Structure 1
Amino acid sequence: MKQILTAAAIAGLLASGAAFADAGADLAKTKNCLACHAVDKKVVGPAYKDVAAKYKADKGAEAKLIDKIKKGGSGVWGNVPMPPNPQVNDAEAKQLVQWVLSQK
């Protein structure tokens, strides 16, 4: 019985991680982030896995990136600016950043 409960708990954790990944990817599609970004390659902006690697050890990364999504910015990844995204609310920006930072 203990093994069954352990297996069920592990399956639940794996499913919630998959749901988080799907929700982040779905939100990125909905908010048109994928017009300029991709998970694993540079498009106009950097690949999300490159963003995650760059900010891996930065404890303030989440706040910085939420701000960048909302207000836009330039100079970090080259000369092409990232425009502001007023269609993304604070909760969505946080969800997107957490998803981006989870990329490997």
Structure 2
Amino acid sequence: MKAVVNGTVIAEAPKEDLISIEGNWYFPPASLNVELLAKSDTPYTCPWKGECQYFNVVEGGTTLKDRAWSYPNPYPSAFDRVGKDFTNYVAFWKEVSVVE
């Protein structure tokens, strides 16, 4: 599967390596093109997953604010709910398409 914006691949991994949480595909850290992601200062804490780290997607001179996110230190109880450790996995939103 691929996370793509304007034809640029931001992440790519086999579907079996991704984790689906609440309708979003989370890509493993090793699958990311980290040059296209910049940490954001936007704060958010999910009541059951924990503190979120947002990323801006930087592609072709355009910055898409907070279009990616991960959980660097998820609550341990979240692993039971998801069924897997999703630490530092990254999901995408809006202009970023996840395709097979």
Higher-Rg structure is 1
Q: Do Structure 1 and Structure 2 share a fold, with TM-score over 0.5?
A: no
